[in-house]
């Protein structure tokens, strides 16, 4: 049942009477309040029922005994010698719960003791925010190192509610909101009558000695008297019932005759229905076959239409490509790629010749290199031998010079000079032959390098021709 309708969940009093910030929790929509006389049970429960239901704060509504001396400003501020308040802003709120959704109605008020005046505003929160959780009726400030709560003003509360509920200063609009979102009566008048019954039932006169008849009389007294306008629909209804009773008797007689006639037509209708059903089955079978054939033909027709459309589109695309290719072919007839093909063939022939020449020159170079290496090796050996011979000749010369000195052989110096001159001539001749051989090898090496450069030039030309030819070849063109 709790998932189908709202139930009371919490009652809150903030900065009201002797309550600084009090919240009373309900259990399954029920609250039991117990306390000594004068502890404030009646004041607390009166704020829930009926004040927070319709927003009516007249003195007779504030006193369960029906007195008219109690005013809301006295309840807000409390007794002067106890609360020491001359002015205050307070709030009352009543939270309802249905499943996981919450609905809160509340009243804000501001009063001054000396003026005996009160200012009221009303609000509803229906976006799921809960007072004391996501929504607070006060601002906290640090006053001399102590956190104090200051109630929201009327303007601050209006801004804080925003689109998550409704704010009003009209008690009539507040009653309409409670009825619309909580009770759902057809009119506020009916809702007010319910509140009137609740007020009568809370009367202290209903003690444990009250009899059921007393409760019935009390409920009857609490209900409004029925007027002639209220009774007129009932009178018309009773009169209509009498008319319908007479018509019903006539219809019963007619029904007996109709039943006899129905029995006669029943067998005829069954036979006729069988014939019609048989024909209907044949027609339905034929219709199913026709529908099936039609669906097959439509599917085949749609397939052919799709193929025709695709072929027409393909033909148009091919015609366009054909025209574009013809234009490109005419334009490319004079392109240098045709001459490049001829040049490419020439280059390929020159490259082939150069490769053959390069191969033969390479072989020639290898033989010359081997021969040069052999000559250099022989030269090194000859130089070493000559160096040894020179050292030997010098040693012999020194010995002969010593002997000539001892024997007083005066022709020794002349003969030694002739020997040195002959040796220089022999060395010059050998050096000349070696330089001629080296020059021949250098010429061969220069020739080989030139051929290598020619081959590289041919390769570069081949790459240029290939780069000019490749884009056209990639497009699938066959130029002749």
Q: What's the confidence (pLDDT) of residue 21? A: 93
CB under 8 A, 24+ apart: contacts of 189-195: 191/54, 192/54, 193/223, 193/224, 195/50, 195/53, 195/54, 195/56
Rounded-to-integer distance, Cα 7 and Cα 20, Å? 25
pTM over 0.85: no
Instruction: Calculate ∠ Cα 403-408-409, nearest 5°.
Output: 75
Tell me, what's the pLDDT at 324?
Answer: 87
Beta pairing partners, 377: none
Per-residue confidence in pLDDT tens, the chain, 480 aa:
445 789 999 999 999 988 999 999 999 999 998 888 877 888 888 888 889 999 988 888 887 666 677 889 988 988 888 878 889 999 999 999 999 999 999 999 999 988 888 999 999 999 999 999 999 999 999 888 888 999 999 999 999 999 999 999 999 999 999 999 999 888 888 888 888 877 777 665 545 555 666 566 655 655 555 566 766 777 778 878 878 888 888 898 888 888 888 888 888 888 888 888 888 888 988 888 889 888 888 888 888 888 888 888 888 988 898 888 888 777 776 666 656 666 677 777 877 777 787 777 777 777 777 877 777 777 777 777 777 777 777 777 777 777 767 776 666 676 666 666 656 666 666 667 666 766 766 676 677 677 667 667 766 766 766 666 555 555 554 444
Q: What is the pLDDT of residue 181?
A: 94
pLDDT for res 477 = 47
- Residue in 111, 96, 94 with CA at minimum distance from that of residue 17: 111
Q: How much is the pLDDT for 1?
A: 42
**Mapping DSSP to helix (H, G, I), strand (E, B) and coil, where does residue 91 land?**
strand
**What is the distance in angstroms between the CA of the first residue and the CA of the last residue of the chain?**
95
Could you give the CA distance from residue 131 to residue 93 in angstroms, rounded to a whole number?
Answer: 9
């Amino acid at each position: 049942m709790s998932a189908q309708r709202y139930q009371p969940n919490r009652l809150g009093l903030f900065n009201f009477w002797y309550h600084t910030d009090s919240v009373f929790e309900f259990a399954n929509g029920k609250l039991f309040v117990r306390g000594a006389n004068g502890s404030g049970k009646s004041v607390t429960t009166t704020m829930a029922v009926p004040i927070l239901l319709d927003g009516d704060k007249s003195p007779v509504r504030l006193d369960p005994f029906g007195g008219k001396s109690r005013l809301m400003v006295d309840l807000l501020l409390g007794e002067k010698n106890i609360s020491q308040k001359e002015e205050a802003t307070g709030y009352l709120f009543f939270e309802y719960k249905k499943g996981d959704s919450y609905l809160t109605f509340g009243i804000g008020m501001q009063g001054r003791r000396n003026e005996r005046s009160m200012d009221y505003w009303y609000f509803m929160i229906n976006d799921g925010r809960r007072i004391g959780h996501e929504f607070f009726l006060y601002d906290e400030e640090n006053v001399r190192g102590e956190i104090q709560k200051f109630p929201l003003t009327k303007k601050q509360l209006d801004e804080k509610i925003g689109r998550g509920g409704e704010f009003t200063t009209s008690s009539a609009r507040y009653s309409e909101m409670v009825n619309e979102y909580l009770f759902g009566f057809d009119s506020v008048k009916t809702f007010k009558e319910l509140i009137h019954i609740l007020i009568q039932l809370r009367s202290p006169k209903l003690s444990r000695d009250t009899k059921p008849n007393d409760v019935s009389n009390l409920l009857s007294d609490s209900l409004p008297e029925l007027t002639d306008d209220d009774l007129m629909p009932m009178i018309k209804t009773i009169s209509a019932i009498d008319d319908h009773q007479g018509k019903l008797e006539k219809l019963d007689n007619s029904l007996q005759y109709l039943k006899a006639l129905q029995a006669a037509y029943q067998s005829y209708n069954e036979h006729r229905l069988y014939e019609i059903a048989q024909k209907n089955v044949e027609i339905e079978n034929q219709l199913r076959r026709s529908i099936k054939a039609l669906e097959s033909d439509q599917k085949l027709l749609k397939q052919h239409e799709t193929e025709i459309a695709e072929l027409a589109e393909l033909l148009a695309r091919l015609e366009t490509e054909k025209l574009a290719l013809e234009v490109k072919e005419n334009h490319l007839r004079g392109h240098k790629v045709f001459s490049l093909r001829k040049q490419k063939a020439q280059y390929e022939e020159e490259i082939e010749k150069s490769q053959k020449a390069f191969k033969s020159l390479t072989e020639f170079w290898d033989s010359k290199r081997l021969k040069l290496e052999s000559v250099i090796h022989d030269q090194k050996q000859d130089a070493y031998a000559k160096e040894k011979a020179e050292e030997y000749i010098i040693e012999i010369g020194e010995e002969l010079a010593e002997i000539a000195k001892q024997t007083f052989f005066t022709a020794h110096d002349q003969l030694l000079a002739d020997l040195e001159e002959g040796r220089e001539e022999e060395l010059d001749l050998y050096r000349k032959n070696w330089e001629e051989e080296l020059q021949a090898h250098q010429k061969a090496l220069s020739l080989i390098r030139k051929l290598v450069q020619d081959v590289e030039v041919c390769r570069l030309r081949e790459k240029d021709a290939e780069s000019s030819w490749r884009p056209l070849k990639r497009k699938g063109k066959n130029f002749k």
